[in-house]
Structure 1
Amino acid sequence: MNLKEKCGQNGSLVGRSQPHLGEEHQEHEKAVASAGAEVYVKQEANGKQEIPSKNLNMYTWQEIQRHNQDADQWLVINRKVYNVTSWANRHPGGRRILKHYAGEDATDVFKAIHPKLDVVQLYLKPLLIGELAPGEPSQERNKNSELVKDFQELRKTVEDMKMFDVNRAWFFLHLAHILILEFLAWLTVYQFGSGWCVTIFIAFLLTISQAQCLFLQHDAGHNFIFKKSKWNHVLQNFVMCHLKGLSGKWWNYAHFQHHVKTNVCPKDPDVNMAPLFLLGDLQPVQYGKKKIKYINYEKQHLYFTMVALPFLVPAHLTMKSFRMIYFRRDWEDIAWVSSFYIRHFISFGPFYGIFGTLLLIYFVKFLESPWFTCVTMMSHLPMKISTEENRDWLSTQVLGTCNVEQSFFNDWFTGHLNFQIEHHLFPTMPCHNYHKVAPLVRSLCAKHGLQYVNKPLLKAFGDIFRSLKKSGALWKAAYYET
């Protein structure tokens, strides 16, 4: 029996996938996998190839790169070629991520995004169709093979340093900090009533709590805090849905697209703001030459202050989350998000009533929005924003992200998102370890001539508006060009 027939018989491994690879799925897949398959998985995780080449088809990069369409998607991992077309709609991270890497080498992004490679390999194995021909390089010919090799060695180094091990005490102290703020808000209204001064103080406490919820969810969404997947799933729903009132699955689908193609238009949803705002150097010129003017983009940095800062969280993010829950009919998310509003009605309803409690919830989101918007955009908007250039993983992340100087306040205020370079290179690394690997990343960037940007917090905030103003000026020059 040839390899293709074996893959076909194991196709049920793919067909039963769920949005989250729970413990029951992992145990089931490991049970049905043969001893030989388990050895194969371990060999794949280590990048080894012990299946005889005569059982595999050989492909060139020229042929692989043609398979980059919605109905025809191939990608390469550790020199193995996989046809992921049938798996795309069942991919836990959403089908768009696979489409973004179709026809490309996905070795580094595959390792970066998946915290449990042995489990994922069981799902990947039936999709194997061949390998790169012996004369082909491991990456596309336009990529710097030495840089790719050095980064892979760096990843091995930080793995040996146990930098991917989670300190659960750190996470639960962060969670306790949030719950204490929530409790103090309720205790304040219970003790002092619902006067204006009390309400402002309550909103202040809840604003800090809600912002820190997003930062905690961000880290919990990338990491396995518990060994059992089902408990990680519960923790994510508790933080994102119950404490924050947003869909965890919506966050996964949108956020991981941002990670795999950072600052690449239109693949990164975080920089796909047209036609409301034009970002980078290319998009404004394109709009200007086509004489497109939905707003006066020359003043978009001012509109950003009036629209995006206060309304990104209460309007844009909340509506996108609700829209996904509604159209997917996701009853689990509906139940968890409903618990957020029920908890607020129970806690504050007796003092403010239903309508007043809703106003309090969205007033807090309104206050939180500038904080969250500045923290998340300061490391990306001022950096290189481009169309697809098929760069290597290290260059993509370093060119599209920057860091903010470390201090106790900066770490807390940003939820450790001041180490965006390290976070983007190693998304499954817990944030309390970023500062330990930063010197290694800086050294590698210096070796290969990549600029490692690290700036003060206030300058990072100011660069958001300066980059918007610069893009607006580019649009104006192209728009009024005769």
Structure 2
Amino acid sequence: MNTTSAPPRPDTTGSDYARLSRRVAAAGLLDRRPGYYAARIGVLLAVAIAAGVAFWSLGDSWAQLWVAALLAVVWAQMGLVAHDIAHRQVFRSARTSAIAGMLAGNLGIGMSYGWWSDKHTRHHTNPNHSELDPDVAPDLLVWSTDQARSARGPARLVGRWQAFLFFPLLTLEGMNLHVASVRALFRPNLRHRWVEAALLLVNFAAYVTALLIVLSPVRALVFAAVHQGLLGLYLGCTFAPNHKGMPEPTEEHRRDFLRRQVLTSRNVRGGRVLDAALGGLNHQIEHHLFPNMPAPNLRRARPIVRAYCAEAGVAYYETGLIRSYAQALRHLHEAGAPLRRGSK
């Protein structure tokens, strides 16, 4: 009698996440896409140069507000490229990624790459955790009824009607990124902070100088307000649908990487136009499971991940873009309820 047991099949060994990872890797979806990123960055640079030429050609005209809107889109897309660089989707080397990230972030759009990368890494480690995820830390907005009950200062006032104020407040997010970036320069633990400071200074100086040379003071202020306001709105609308209103991870799920990432994330259905507009982050579940997966591969990974979650009994949630915003706003309104009751 043969008592030798056959070795287990590779697809049946390891954790749930390990088995899914093998399927995704076997499909080649973790391979880098240098041609895609070369084309994407090339298009962005071409549009940025065209916007610069239009800016100088139009002179002191209110038509410049169209240029401000176009540059808001370009800067937001550059921010999404910096996001992909930070996740090592573009370059394998940490040093090359850091250089490219500072060029795109600090020099390109005036955002500290080191500060944002650290903040975003903490978000990925503990998504939607009210104490550990910086993206749901109480500030002007509160993300849970517990945060509402302990809110102080402006958060007590804003939090009452934050669902109605959410989109208007997003117009301040562009300026908030700049302010937070400058504040980060005073942290001694920020790596390359002198390089980051120099690149931020070049960005700010070039921006202000260009506005004051070409535009009157009033038009310069309006241009900056439109540009920075639309930049913040674009970036906020890109990241808002992904986790807001999704459950906070339980202690059990925090020990299970697959469930911690899937159950706290929301996918947004849409075609390739939406993929381009949101930088692929509408496939948020796949992105959180495989942060180093190139953005164009996320759509291809979706059916694999969705089928595997069905096999493993893990809820996989996706919805449309408008409904995702509605769910996020509903969650904000419910989170602020204790403040409204306290105001009566």
Please confirm whether the aligned pair reaches a TM-score higher than 0.5, indicating the same fold. Answer: yes
What is the CA distance between 1:229 and its match in structure 2? 3.9
Name the structure 2 match of 1:120. Answer: none
**Greater share of residues in strand:** 1
Name the structure 2 match of 1:473. Answer: 337
Query: Which secondary structure does the structure 2 equivalent of 1:266 belong to?
Result: coil
Name the structure 2 match of 1:262. Answer: 127
8 Å CA contact 1:265–1:386 kept in 2: the answer is no
What is the CA distance between 1:323 and its match in structure 2? 0.4
Query: Which secondary structure does the structure 2 equivalent of 1:220 belong to?
Result: helix
**Paired residues, what number?**
328
8 Å CA contact 2:88–2:94 kept in 1: the answer is no
Q: 2:323 aligns with which of 448, 456, 459?
A: 459
What is the CA distance between 1:293 and its match in structure 2? 8.2
For 1:297 and 1:387, locate their aligned partners in 2 and report how far apart those are by CA, in whole Å: 25
What is the CA distance between 1:232 and its match in structure 2? 2.4
What is the CA distance between 1:241 and its match in structure 2? 1.0
Name the structure 1 match of 2:187. Answer: 327
What is the CA distance between 1:476 and its match in structure 2? 4.8
8 Å CA contact 2:59–2:215 kept in 1: the answer is no
For 1:474 and 1:348, locate their aligned partners in 2 and report how far apart those are by CA, in whole Å: 45
Name the structure 1 match of 2:5. Answer: none
Name the structure 1 match of 2:305. Answer: 441
What is the CA distance between 1:441 and its match in structure 2? 1.2
8 Å CA contact 1:401–1:420 kept in 2: the answer is yes
CA 335–434 in structure 1, closer or farther in 2 if over 3 Å, else same: same
CA 378–243 in structure 1, closer or farther in 2 if over 3 Å, else same: same
Runs of 5+ consecutive residues of structure 1 not aligned to the other structure: 1-145
What is the CA distance between 1:218 and its match in structure 2? 0.8
Name the structure 2 match of 1:164. Answer: 30
For 1:466 and 1:244, locate their aligned partners in 2 and report how far apart those are by CA, in whole Å: 32
Higher relative contact order (CA 8 A, sep 6+): 2
CA 327–447 in structure 1, closer or farther in 2 if over 3 Å, else same: same
Code of the aligned partner of 1:426: F
CA 156–469 in structure 1, closer or farther in 2 if over 3 Å, else same: same
Name the structure 1 match of 2:3. Answer: none
For 1:441 and 1:164, locate their aligned partners in 2 and report how far apart those are by CA, in whole Å: 13
Code of the aligned partner of 2:32: V
Name the structure 2 match of 1:301. Answer: 163
Q: Normalising by structure 1, what TM-score? A: 0.62
CA 296–224 in structure 1, closer or farther in 2 if over 3 Å, else same: closer
What is the CA distance between 1:388 and its match in structure 2? 5.2
For 1:392 and 1:441, locate their aligned partners in 2 and report how far apart those are by CA, in whole Å: 16
For 1:361 and 1:168, locate their aligned partners in 2 and report how far apart those are by CA, in whole Å: 34
CA deviations 1:41-86 (Å, max 9, x no partner) are xxxxxxxxxxxxxxxxxxxxxxxxxxxxxxxxxxxxxxxxxxxxxx
CA deviations 1:308-359 (Å, max 9, x no partner) are 3211221x22211110113338211011112223443565543127896576
Code of the aligned partner of 2:236: T
Q: Normalising by structure 2, what TM-score? A: 0.85
Please say which of residues 334-343 and 241-250 is displaced more in the overlay: 334-343
Query: Which secondary structure does the structure 1 equivalent of 2:171 belong to?
Result: helix
Matches within 5 A, 1:75-154: 149-154=15-20
Code of the aligned partner of 1:412: A
CA 475–451 in structure 1, closer or farther in 2 if over 3 Å, else same: farther
CA 343–169 in structure 1, closer or farther in 2 if over 3 Å, else same: farther
Query: Which secondary structure does the structure 1 equivalent of 2:166 belong to?
Result: helix
Q: CA RMSD in A?
A: 2.9
Name the structure 1 match of 2:233. Answer: 370
Runs of 5+ consecutive residues of structure 2 not aligned to the other structure: 1-11
Name the structure 2 match of 1:45. Answer: none
Matches within 5 A, 1:387-398: 390-398=254-262
8 Å CA contact 1:279–1:385 kept in 2: the answer is no
Q: 1:173 aligns with which of 39, 46, 50?
A: 39
Higher radius of gyration, 1 or 2: 1
